Amino acid sequence: MGAALGRVTDRKPRVAFVCTHNSCRSQIAEALSRALASDAFEAFSAGTHPADSVNPDALRLLRNVPGVDTARLRPKALDELPPVDVVVTMGCGVQCPMLPCAHREDWGLEDPTGRGDEAFLATMDEIERRVRDLAERLARSGLVTTGAHDGLSADAFKALADENRLAVLRMLSRADELCACELLERLDISQPTLSHHMALLTAADLVVAERRGRWTHYRLRRERVAQLASALGRLCGAGTAGPDETAPAAARKTLYLVGGPMGVGKSTVCRELSRMLPCSVMLDGDWCWRADPFQVTPETKALVLDNICHTLGNFLRCSAYDNVVFGWVMHERAIVEGILARLPVAECGARVRWVSLVASEKELRGRVEGDVSVGLREEGAVERALAYLPLYRELGSELVDTTGRSPREVAELIAGRRERFRRLTQAIEADAAAEPAWDPTVSDRDLLNAERVSRFD
């Protein structure tokens, strides 16, 4: 955290303490920071998979600390965070590359849960020491505000690099406020996928989120959007080429991440999808890890990730390809986030489509048992595949049910959804041009009924 980070001039730095469940260590850090360092920074906490409640032992012991207020402590998701300057992970291996910040550090704290009051008090003492140290370092160095001095921000452009998020901004531009339930209906996407999109927009300071009851409500930060537009205008300058003199825009790249348990058909679906998409190239993650004997160690896991990221990065940078298709198990969000953090997605202006293939337990069992019977998989593969299956419903990716569908039909479904998102954006733009005021009685589904051609919609 050096002088290169600049200095906050209009507000105190914001610090987010992040862990998996946001029930113990990160809650302690937020509470102690508010009590001990509120003059140095604003403290927040969140989890990648929030628990239902705060750890009762943590609450009980925090209430004994003078000046600590536990009334507002509750587990929160990442999309409830405001734009932050510092992200502190607590040591549970969580990764948040999609949470923009100016500085990131990991405290490597052991979870005291279930280990008695002595372990909790030792953890609280260590967190207090680290909070005071962080406050001193912030006071010495300061942090930059979100975005550069001219108003341009890579985080903002990354947040805009998706058709769904652009559609959200267009809808919010015609309404004072929209509830998450309204956005779900109009975009026709899953709630975890919407939460991911809104977290990026909120982190880029383009949208303001406010939780009221069960639902989160969103408003457009119009002054921030206007600032971006003005900064882009200044980049053009006087005497630059007009619209008719500019070169045609390069084709937009799309990276398809296709995950799913063994036996669900990832490799075959990816091959079909690659054949279906123009200017495409495919990588199967297992190609990067064919070894005899097959060994899973920290060294080999790091090796395969290096192989995957190197190859995908080259594919994205290559001008010959517009669509890059990657298939692998990817049963944990941290795996996907770790891969994306190392890819030149923003540099290449690429969209990311993250899809998880699932199937009914009966169908998945039948497919894997068939593979085992002909020697394609080892004994025990059925149990492993079925154990992984529920994990994909918690990732926040697009879910595609392969039950009763051929690999080509599944690939057509994925490609059809891509077309549907494109048509949705076109419909919203056409609606905006024809009628400035948004009619809440007409849904995007109504607007697209005459346009939809995919038999999977």
Quick check: is 181 catalytic? no
Confidence (pLDDT) at 155: 67
Whether residue 236 lies in the annotated active site: no
Q: Please report the pLDDT score of residue 95 as a whole number.
A: 59
Share of the chain above pLDDT 70, in %: 78
- Provide the percentage of residues in the chain whose pLDDT is more than 90: 34
Lowest mean pLDDT among 139-143, 214-218, 324-328: 139-143
Residue 144 binned pLDDT confidence (cut-offs 50, 70, 90): very low
- Considering the entire predicted model, what is its pTM? 0.42
Catalytic residue, chosen from 19, 288, 309, 348, is: 19
Residue-wise pLDDT for 341-386, tens only, equals 889 887 788 888 999 999 999 999 999 999 888 888 888 889 999 9
Between 201 and 243, the more confident residue is: 201
Asked whether residue 270 carries a pLDDT value surpassing 90, the answer given is yes
- Residue of 96, 270, 288, 309 with catalytic role: 96
d(CA 421, CA 444): 11
Residue 68 CA to residue 58 CA, distance in Å, equals 12
Residue 96: active-site member: yes
Which residue in the list 92, 270, 288, 348 is annotated as catalytic?
92
List domains and CATH numbers for the chain. Answer: 10-141 (3.40.50.2300), 150-231+415-457 (1.10.10.10), 254-404 (3.40.50.300)
Question: Which of 44-58, 95-109, 169-183, 268-282 comes out lowest in average pLDDT?
Answer: 95-109
Q: Reply yes or no on whether the pLDDT at 6 is more than 50.
A: no
